[in-house]
């Protein structure tokens, strides 16, 4: 590695080379830390598989940073560690990409056929699949890349078939006509794949004439194009306005079909007119009403949203495009009473943003009862959420669980492993090779279900399918397979974003519990969203997207990682800004320059041996290091990554770099000891900042990673017993230095060396001789005298545990007091002006909020300055 001679750290000089060496040497693999592994300690975590079509975004960066911190920590702490990487086939997203590519060539998937389309999809996967993992390497993450999996590779495909067949044979997977969420572009969707947005729509009031000619009822609807599928009109049985109408019938406008008026408690009497249309094939609530009342189910448009023969003259039109023509026709025929503006929630496909339709379709489902034991076991404490409140969200969703629609009308994905016999009608699920004949009648005239499984079905198996589960005889005798499930399942921990709690986390829990008998992980850490500095969600349209790869180029991988960690407060959204990234980059430069200072005095620092730390400053800094180790370990173990990062920042910047190094200038003999402690501190920081810590660890030991062992497989620091007495005395010495500096400011000698200062400690029995040289050196005082009483004619500074004094016998205080009096008068005038403005009701009512806020801030700052000046004047008098 090239040596960096500048006064700032250059990450580009080390990052790519270090990562290559780490990976080439196998440090990321299960046995990468074999020399320090401890018997019985294993740790396993699964990488949430990013889409092969994806690009590393800031949410990925947060997830994988937190995962890498815990993995590097466990690896250094002697655990046999598996961080399982992989990517997801992303059924809808990948198919959309390939379809768009075909459209650009003037072709459709139907024209080229399924087999040719799948060849293109696999090529797309090969072309883009490596992109996201290459980007992850830029972040410095350390999963076991040799074990990388893809949700459609052969082993995982076997697991999917095995899981499906087991669930099918046990009756958990069923097929039937159900009301589902339907995207006319992407097909069937599960409930959580529908995103609801506020929509400025209209409420159409339509007259439905009574069939006996005695009048009409008015029905309000937001979707007039579906009225062709109405098979009843209903009112609430408690609605006195319409009691006499129940049992009568109406004639459907434009169509003339006779349908009944029914009573059902589902009707909201306050909505519209209190009379609602019932379209069982196109509304989830009407679907239930239709079942209760035995109504007909009439589907008025096909899977592409094209109206059919039931729509009469509108047949062949797309359902949304037909809305206005249908309304216009109703108006012409006298059936439209009025139209009102109506704001309401509309479901959209989470992928293509198309408006989702409730639709009755023959699909495959996992019965909701499949999750019952998972819900019970989670609530019995077998799974713990971090933060804890997420169990409430989990329970709220699971209580209202519906059957999970797992079939998708796609070609890219795991084709449903169900065969149909065209001769005898037999249906069966299979695993392994695709059957060639019917097991019931022996016919070869068979075909496989054309649909594919929901992507979340295969990713729900991820915690154990990646370990070889479901491959049976294919892996019998393979050592890693025999050991992996035993050693690494259940996994130890899951870290992911809260936004996929239901998409992925809940499904892994239920699939793991039912298929293996074990919940897949005891701990679930759900992090919040990364937003911009104003707390707004990032989006391309707002132009506030922060690209992690750009930030790595600009600030370094370490700076990005540390910033994300220090902001990752449990349960709180992260507000990310470049200002915070700059602070982390400044931290890297501070650490780099501390190493430069140490190496100016000593050529090489040994591994830390506490027995060899003899100087008072060395013992003090070792004690502070022990406390930092204890707190850092405690916080990481609780997944409080932000608190751990804050402790490291406080110790390394505030305690070691600012004070430890400054104090060493009064005791050069301590430098070799401080260097060893600092080198050991790089191990403490390593999980957060892997590149910089590796670089400084090697430099401080006069080694080079190309010829030596990496910091990442050195044991993580252990806390020792701190020396309470030495910590108290150095804390008081530092307090005295700060106090004397303030006292010098009072007499306009802030940066000057003075002859004498006095210090009175509140405590007794202190080793003042130990403190004396440090105070004199850093406070720039020729002599410090420790006293029990205040000297005459002296200014005073009072702090928590001591007072410091400087004699004013030889100082003309007049100009100093006059200067402070002028500052006091100026501040009082400014405060009066600002208070007057903010007390003026007219000004407050008319001024922009930004101006008012600026004035409030200026007033607060001026009042603080005035209090400080008054305090200084009081001290001088």
Q: List the single range of 138-152, 272-286, 374-388, 772-786 with lowest mean pLDDT.
A: 272-286
- Tell me what pLDDT residue 230 has: 93
Angle formed at CA 218 by CA 217 and CA 219, multiple of 5 degrees: 120
Q: What whole-number percentage of the chain has pLDDT above 90?
A: 64
Contact 513, 489 (CB under 8 A): no
Q: What is the mean pLDDT of residues 460-485?
A: 79
CATH number of 31-172+367-394+455-527: 3.40.50.620
- Tell me what pLDDT residue 876 has: 65
3-class state of residue 384 by DSSP? strand
Q: What is the mean pLDDT of the chain?
A: 90
pLDDT tens readout for residues 488-538: 999 999 999 998 888 899 999 999 999 999 999 999 999 988 887 888 887
| DSSP labels, 174-200 | EEEEEEEEEETTTEEE-GGGEEEEEEE
Look up residue 814 and give its two tokens. Answer: 């007049």
Cα separation, 746 vs 816, whole angstroms: 8
Q: What is the mean pLDDT of residues 232-244?
A: 91
- Tell me what pLDDT residue 56 has: 84
pLDDT tens readout for residues 441-453: 999 999 999 999 9
Peptide bond preceding 837 in cis form (omega within 30 of 0): no
Q: What is the mean pLDDT of residues 614-629?
A: 98
Cα separation, 583 vs 696, whole angstroms: 19
Q: Which residues 6+ apart lie within 8 Å of 560 measured at CB?
A: 61, 65, 139, 548, 551, 552, 581, 584
Contact 33, 81 (CB under 8 A): yes
Q: Does the domain spanning 572-714 belong to CATH 3.30.70.420?
A: no
Distances, alpha carbon 575 to alpha carbons 60, 300, 556, 559, in Å: 15, 48, 19, 15
pLDDT tens readout for residues 764-790: 889 999 999 999 999 999 999 999 998
Annotated binding site for ATP: 540
- Tell me what pLDDT residue 3 has: 46
- Tell me what pLDDT residue 2 has: 42
Annotated binding site: 540
CATH number of 727-811: 3.30.2320
- Tell me what pLDDT residue 1 has: 41
- Tell me what pLDDT residue 4 has: 47
- Tell me what pLDDT residue 861 has: 86
All structural domains of the chain with their residue ranges: 31-172+367-394+455-527, 187-358, 572-714, 727-811, 815-876
Whether 269 has a pLDDT exceeding 60, the answer reads yes
- Tell me what pLDDT residue 473 has: 60
Range among 15-24, 117-126, 298-307, 786-795 rated most confident = 15-24
DSSP H helices in 378-415: 390-399
- Tell me what pLDDT residue 478 has: 59
pTM: 0.83
Q: Which residues 6+ apart lie within 8 Å of 131 measured at CB?
A: 55
Domain 187-358: CATH architecture, name and number where available: Alpha-Beta Complex (3.90)
Q: What is the mean pLDDT of residues 424-439?
A: 94
Distance from chain centroid for Cα 693: 25
How many residues can be counted in the chain? 877
pLDDT tens readout for residues 655-698: 999 999 999 999 999 999 999 999 999 999 999 999 999 999 99
Q: List the single range of 82-86, 179-183, 455-459, 464-468 with lowest mean pLDDT.
A: 179-183
Count of other CB atoms within 10 angstroms of residue 35: 11
**Confidence class for position 263, pLDDT limits 50, 70, 90:** very high
Q: What is the mean pLDDT of residues 852-866?
A: 86
- Tell me what pLDDT residue 192 has: 64
pLDDT tens readout for residues 541-560: 677 888 999 999 999 999 99
């Amino acid at each position: 590695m090239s040596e960096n001679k500048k006064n700032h750290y250059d990450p580009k000089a080390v990052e790519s080379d270090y990562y290559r060496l780490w990976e080439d040497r196998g440090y990321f693999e299960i046995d990468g830390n074999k020399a320090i592994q401890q018997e019985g300690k294993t740790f396993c975590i699964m990488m949430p598989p990013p889409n092969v079509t994806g690009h590393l975004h800031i949410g990925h960066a947060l997830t994988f940073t937190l995962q890498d911190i815990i993995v590097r920590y466990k690896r250094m702490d002697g655990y046999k560690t598996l961080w399982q990487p992989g990517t997801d086939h992303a059924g809808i997203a990948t198919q959309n990409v390939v379809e768009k590519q075909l459209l650009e060539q003037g072709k459709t998937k139907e024209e080229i056929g399924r087999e040719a389309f799948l060849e293109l999809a696999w090529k797309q996967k090969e072309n883009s699949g490596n992109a996201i993992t290459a980007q992850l390497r830029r972040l410095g993450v350390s999963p076991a890349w040799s074990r990388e999996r893809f949700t459609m590779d052969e082993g995982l495909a076997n697991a999917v078939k095995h899981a499906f067949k087991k669930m099918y044979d046990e009756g958990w997977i069923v097929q039937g006509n159900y009301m589902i969420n339907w995207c006319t572009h992407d097909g069937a969707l599960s409930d959580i794949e529908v995103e609801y947005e506020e929509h400025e729509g209209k409420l159409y009031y339509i007259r439905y004439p009574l069939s006996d000619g005695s009048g009409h009822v008015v029905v309000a609807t937001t979707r007039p194009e579906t009225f062709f599928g109405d098979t009843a009109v209903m009112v609430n049985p408690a609605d006195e306005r319409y009691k006499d109408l129940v049992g009568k019938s109406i004639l459907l406008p434009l169509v003339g079909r006779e349908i009944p008026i029914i009573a059902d408690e589902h009707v909201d009497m306050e909505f519209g007119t209190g009379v609602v249309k019932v379209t069982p094939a196109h509304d989830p609530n009407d679907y239930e009403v239709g079942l209760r009342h035995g109504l007909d189910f009439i589907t008025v448009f096909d899977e592409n949203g094209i109206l059919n023969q039931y729509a009469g003259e509108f047949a062949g039109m797309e359902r949304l495009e037909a809305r206005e023509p249908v309304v216009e026709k109703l108006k012409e025929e006298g059936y439209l009473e009025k139209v009102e503006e109506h704001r309401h929630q509309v479901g959209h496909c989470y992928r293509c943003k198309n408006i989702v339709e409730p639709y009755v379709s023959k699909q495959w489902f996992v019965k909701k009862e499949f999750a019952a034991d998972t819900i019970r076991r989670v609530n019995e404490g077998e799974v713990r959420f971090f933060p804890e409140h997420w169990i409430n969200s989990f329970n709220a969703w699971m209580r209202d669980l519906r059957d999970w629609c797992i079939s998708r009308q796609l070609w890219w994905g795991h084709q449903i492993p169900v065969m149909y016999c065209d001769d005898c009608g037999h249906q069966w699920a299979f695993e392994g090779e695709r059957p060639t004949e019917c097991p019931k009648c022996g016919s070869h005239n068979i075909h496989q279900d054309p649909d594919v499984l929901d992507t979340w079905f295969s990713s729900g198996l991820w915690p154990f399918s990646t370990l070889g589960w479901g491959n049976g005889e294919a892996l019998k005798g393979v050592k890693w397979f025999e050991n992996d499930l035993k050693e690494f399942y259940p996994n130890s921990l899951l870290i992911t974003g809260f936004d996929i709690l239901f998409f992925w986390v809940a499904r892994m829990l239920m699939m793991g519990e039912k298929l293996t008998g074990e919940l897949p992980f005891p701990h679930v850490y759900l992090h919040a969203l990364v937003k911009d500095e104003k707390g707004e969600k990032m989006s391309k349209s707002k132009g506030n997207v922060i690209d992690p790869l750009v930030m790595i180029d600009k600030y370094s991988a370490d700076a990005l990682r540390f910033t994300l960690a220090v902001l990752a407060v449990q349960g709180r959204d992260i507000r990310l800004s470049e200002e915070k990234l700059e602070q982390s980059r400044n931290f890297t430069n501070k650490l780099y320059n501390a190493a430069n200072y140490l190496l100016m005095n000593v050529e090489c620092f040994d591994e830390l041996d506490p027995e060899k730390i003899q100087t008072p400053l060395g013992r003090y800094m070792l004690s502070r290091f022990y406390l930092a180790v204890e707190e850092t370990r405690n916080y990481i173990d609780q997944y409080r990554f932000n608190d751990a990062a804050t402790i490291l920042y406080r110790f390394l910047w505030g305690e070691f770099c600012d004070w430890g190094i400054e104090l060493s200038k009064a005791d050069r003999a301590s430098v070799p000891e401080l260097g060893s402690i600092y080198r050991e501190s790089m191990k403490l920081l390593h999980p957060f900042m892997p590149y910089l810590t590796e670089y400084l660890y090697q430099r401080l030991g006069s080694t080079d990673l190309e010829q030596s062992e990496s910091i990442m497989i050195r044991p993580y620091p252990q806390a020792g017993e701190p020396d309470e007495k030495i910590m108290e005395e150095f804390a008081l010495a530092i307090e005295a230095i700060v106090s004397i500096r303030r006292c010098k400011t009072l007499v306009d000698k802030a940066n000057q060396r003075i002859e004498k200062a006095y210090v009175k400690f509140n405590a007794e029995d202190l080793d003042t001789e130990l403190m004396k040289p440090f105070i004199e050196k850093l406070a720039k005082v020729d002599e410090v005298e420790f006293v029990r009483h205040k000297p005459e004619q002296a200014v005073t500074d009072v702090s928590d545990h001591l007072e410091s004094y400087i004699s004013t016998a030889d100082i003309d205080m007049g100009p100093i007091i006059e200067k402070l009096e002028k500052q006091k008068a100026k501040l009082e005038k400014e405060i009066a002006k600002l208070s007057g403005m903010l007390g003026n009701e007219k000004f407050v009512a008319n001024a922009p909020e930004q101006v008012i806020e600026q004035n409030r801030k200026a007033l607060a700052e001026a009042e603080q300055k005035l209090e400080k000046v008054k305090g200084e004047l009081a001290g001088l008098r």
